[in-house]
Amino acid sequence: MIDQLKVILQDIFKIKDLGHLRYFLGIEVARPSEGIVLNRRKYALELVLEAGLSAGKPAGTPLELNLKLTSYEFDKKFPLGEKDELLTYPSMFGRTVERLLYLTMSRPDISFAVQTLSQYMQSPKQSHLEAALRVIRYVKKEPTLGLLMSTKSIKELVAFCDSDWASCAVSRKLAPGYCIKMGDSLLSWKSKK
């Protein structure tokens, strides 16, 4: 059926069969026996290199356990002791978070961390940059991690959800997250305040 479709399309349009898909819009497509894996290995390695963390130790988790990030305005109202200064060049933090945000399209494991960091784009502090660099060190641990589109034909739709129950020190809002899977294949995910 695929060959017939190719013949029909060649009659209507000028097309060229390039064989199996390997790269598409920066996404690497691998075909192990389990299914199709979509990842951004090259992009992840470029991100690690650009951040200057090639020789750095990989992190086991995207964010530190019980990390409480706050905005600069919150710190001025409620000084908590240790001074956390604003960044001299906030564009560096912004670029780092933007690049991580692009990576979340194939790495749902960093979605919550990037969502948390993106709240501080307006006036980032040194602690925010350190947290962003930790996410990059986490990505460095397994740059080939991506999405698996399984070959198993399990017709079971499963959804998971979770919430951090208002752990944001500034707004006291919750940040729920969810993921929806069809069998072993992840279809949709989100983490949002």
Q: Evaluate if residue 79 carries a pLDDT over 70.
A: no
Tally DSSP H helices, then E strands, for the chain.
Answer: 6, 7
- Asked whether the predicted pLDDT for residue 167 surpasses 70, the reply is no
Q: Find where tokens 């930790």 sit.
A: 134
Cα(83)–Cα(87) distance, rounded to whole angstroms? 12
Q: Using CA atoms, how far apart are residues 177 and 71, in angstroms rounded to an integer? A: 22
pLDDT single digits (tens) 84-123? 788 888 889 999 999 999 999 889 899 889 988 998 888 8
**Half-sphere exposure (Cβ direction) of 120: Cα atoms closer than 13 Å:** 31
The predicted model gives 148-156 an average pLDDT of 84
pTM of this prediction? 0.79
Half-sphere exposure (Cβ direction) of 172: Cα atoms closer than 13 Å: 0
Spatial CB neighbours of 117, under 8 Å, sequence gap ≥ 6: 69, 97, 100, 128, 131, 132, 135
Reading the block at residue 96, the tokens are 């780092």
